[in-house]
Amino acid sequence: MCGIFGVIGQDTNAVQTTFNGLKDIEYRGYDSWGIASWNIEDGIWKIEKNTGFLPKIMDSRFRGNDGVGLAIGHTRWATHGGVTQINAHPHKDCSGKLVLVHNGIVENYLELKKTLKSHNLKSETDTEVIVHLIEEALKKNGLNQAVLNIFQKLRGLNAIVVSDGNEIIAAKVGSPLIAGVGNGKLFIASDPNALLPHTKKLVFLQDNQLIRLNKELELYNSLNSRKLQPIITTVPWEHSTSGLQKYKYFLEKEIYEQPKALRNIAQNAKEVEQVAGMIRKAYGTFFIACGSASYSCLLGVYLFSKIAKKHVNFSVGSEFNYIEDYIKPKSLVVAVSQSGESIDTLEPVLSAKKHGAKTVALVNVLGSTLYRSVDFPVLLRAGVEKAVCSTKALTAMFAHMVFLSYCLVGKRKTAQKIILESAREIESILKRRSAIKNLAGKIFHQKNIFILGRGLSYPVAMESSLKIKENAYIHAEGFAGGELKHGVIALIEKNTPVIVFVPEDETKQAILANAMEVKARGAFIIGVGPENNPVFDFFFKVRDVGASSVIPHPVFAQLLSYYLALKLGLNPDRPRNLAKSVVVR
């Protein structure tokens, strides 16, 4: 999603610092970028911004302002207005004295824009409206009060960072912002990891707070302008980095890192057993998540029923507020997220806490908003994930669902054993990846791909279809095996690829019958499982590891989507229109 980084103080190269900060968070996804630096001698802003991705290193475009001590930068994921240079942040006011960057959506921007008839707005964005409103408010107040007054008028979930060249002021509701206190320097960023190379003294802004960075750091309540005492937390975290090493793309690298992640998870019994104990005591457990994480929650519903004989509820995060009336003080809400910043997952957690429920997070990013918001955070231990499409974090989520379901019935060692077996089976799949690459070469021209699964394999089918859509831009749909014939079978034509997950469990015969139904309509059947069958036109063996078979099965689809993307000339790390975390509704 959109990223923010800024620095003020005794920094002889604030532009380089800001550039590095943006590079640190660019994996979250963006379509344009910009950096504004203040030239003290001339009293003007130098702004460089463009569509596409940041250059690999700072080049000649950034020269001429190397010695400045103030800069703010932004990576944009378009919401209002197309992907153009004019729409890229930072935005200036009419006087050229103010610059502003913004994460979020101003829901009432059209209403506010009507009050700016005398201003010259150049972009299509809601963001530019904010900086002109602050310019107008400056006629009556200083910058700090002007920003406070305008921020109160914005509806929606927003984080803004504005500067007049003398100070940086930032405020937030919803979207994350963290300040850093360094040696003679102050920082602001939307991701704590970007601050760790400079300082471990962080101030996590809460909703409806405004922070002023000048020679010192000042904190205010943005609703009533009351000054607050900032809480500076010295975090023990290390800066997370992840290079490509021998790989061409992060997606490929992260697929290969999955066995290591699973071995890390197998050693994490203490925290998992604590969560299992909380589920055991809860009066109703609700799993909430979005995207790939939501399929891990759906898998949890099946696993908890099959292994632990226990009912749990699941809701997509963005739909949770429509059923939250069920939440009681004895309820437990478990939020699952890679980034820990997706607003559709964060909002239900905050709602659940208002109902008095206990909250747990399975999250991959230490120090993320979700990690800090819940009563009991559990790290997924997948490591840094930079490709937009989730692979090893998804596998970690699946593994935690397996682990939790077995821990609920006192079978921790069984869970550890089959998770480790899954790691070994993934290593076997990776050694045989050439067969999947060849399959991609046969089906890359197809317009539709369907994926079938039953029982535990149904969430696998859903996740597999998402990977193909994300990476290859091919229409793919995952179905419970029996559902395809309730309408969608009308789309089956000669050679339409249909992937069928066939584990060695109670679903085997029924899912094979579904394969035969679509085969009779001309489909090209791709079988994935421990045993070949005459109905398959292509077979890829994945050894049976019991209930944990759901962990290696998605790896087949990950590799297939990766090779489809390469065959189609696409960048598998940065799919169009997508971001790593979604901080807007």
HSE-CB at 90 with a 13 A cutoff on CA atoms is 29
C-alpha closest to that of 250 among 26, 436, 83: 26
| CA–CA separation, 531 and 528 (whole Å) | 8
- Give all strands (DSSP E) within 207-253, no chain letters: 209-213, 217-221, 227-228, 233-234
Q: Are strands 99-104 and 91-92 parallel, antiparallel or unpaired?
A: antiparallel
Residues contacting 499, CB < 8 A, separation 6+: 449, 450, 451, 452, 461, 464, 526, 528, 557
489-520 per-residue burial string, b: 16 or more CB within 10 A, e: under 16: beebeeebbbbbbbbebebbeebbebbebbbe
Q: Is residue 304 within 8 Å of 310, Cβ to Cβ?
A: yes
- What does each C-alpha distance from 198 to 6, 159, 186 come to in angstroms? 12, 22, 10
| CA–CA separation, 144 and 167 (whole Å) | 9
- What does each C-alpha distance from 362 to 274, 378, 500 come to in angstroms? 13, 5, 29
Task: Indicate left, alpha or beta for 379 from its phi (over 0: left) and psi (-120 to 50: alpha).
Answer: beta
48-85 per-residue burial string, b: 16 or more CB within 10 A, e: under 16: bbebeebeeebeeebeebeebbbbbbbbbbbbbbebee
Tokens describing residue 560: 């297939």
Tokens describing residue 484: 């395809």
Q: Is residue 274 within 8 Å of 404, Cβ to Cβ?
A: no
Signed CA dihedral, 423, 428, 429, 431: sign only = positive
| CA–CA separation, 480 and 61 (whole Å) | 53
- Give all strands (DSSP E) within 364-474, no chain letters: 376-379, 448-453
Q: Is residue 459 within 8 Å of 550, Cβ to Cβ?
A: yes
Tokens describing residue 352: 């659940």
For 228, the 3-state DSSP assignment is strand
- Give all strands (DSSP E) within 32-98, no chain letters: 32-39, 44-51, 70-76, 91-92
Signed CA dihedral, 480, 481, 482, 488: sign only = positive
Q: Is residue 194 within 8 Å of 5, Cβ to Cβ?
A: yes
| CA–CA separation, 261 and 381 (whole Å) | 6
Q: How many residues does this entry show for the chain? A: 585
The amino acid occupying position 213 is: L
Does the annotation count 580 as an active-site position? yes
Does the annotation count 2 as an active-site position? yes
| CA–CA separation, 195 and 191 (whole Å) | 7
Neighbours of 124 (CB within 10 A): 14
| CA–CA separation, 110 and 113 (whole Å) | 5
Of 2, 290, 297, 407, the catalytic one is 2
Of 49, 172, 358, 580, the catalytic one is 580
Catalytic positions: 2, 580
